[in-house]
Amino acid sequence: MSGAAARVRDDHGRFDLDRVNRALDDAPAEEIVRWAVESFAPGRLGLVSAFGPGSAVLIHLLKDIAPDLPVVFLDTLHHFPETLEHMERVRDRYGLNLRVFRSAASREEFEAIYGPQLWERDLARYQQVAKVEPFLDATRDFDGWFTGRRRDQASTRTGLPPVEGGEKLRINPLLSWTRGDIWRYIYAHDLPYNPLHDRGYASIGDAPLTTPVNTGEDERAGRWRGSGITECGIHLV
């Protein structure tokens, strides 16, 4: 199926995403990963990772398919220490081709430019300078990238396709997986994960903007709690 999907292009050489998504909608994650790796030129595809559970699965799948694929991490300078320590453990385990992007050299420099606790004064501005602008820099040379997003994560993601269009493509190999599927895979393959997950944090972002999730809540309910925001902005670019 992946080979057939890879050949589905229009007269301008662009993917016919309707046909690609029909071909890949029920495909296993490995097949979607292979389709993307085979379909993009070298150096034009990457994985954008916050080193959450979905990224753990994707990194493990990529080790046998494309071990040198660039892995992009956006250091907002406001991550939990546990997240940064976990990132280093994963880098060491897989020998990742890791690329870290940030908006300033340090948190002190960030606060000197934008002032302290920018997220409290202007959350949209904080998201723009801490995440969106480094993300645009990180993906400048990509034609597409993998994400760990899934349809069951939140009500805003239920219609997620295998491949999202736009000027650049976002590939979602885990779209049909459930949270239980992810964790069963992690345990079965003894994959490293952020220890904050054992303390009730289902989805982990910046420390000042992330809280544990209560029983019955969406997996991402602890992100930007009470702000009305459901996405940080990078998936809306």
Strand ranges (E), the chain: 45-48, 70-74, 97-101, 144-146, 163-164, 169-171
At 207, list the tokens: 């420390």
d(CA 115, CA 153): 33
**CA 136 to CA 122: how far, in whole Å?**
20
Q: What is the DSSP letter of 202?
A: S
Q: Are 163 and 143 in contact (CB under 8 A)?
A: no
Q: How far apart (Å, rounded) are the C-alpha atoms in residues 95 and 19?
A: 36
Q: Which of 115, 232, 235, 237 is catalytic?
A: 232
- C-beta of residue 156 within 8 angstroms of C-beta of residue 236: no
Q: How far apart, in whole angstroms, are the C-alpha atoms of residue 77 and residue 190?
A: 29
Is 232 considered catalytic here?
A: yes
Q: Which residues are catalytic?
A: 232
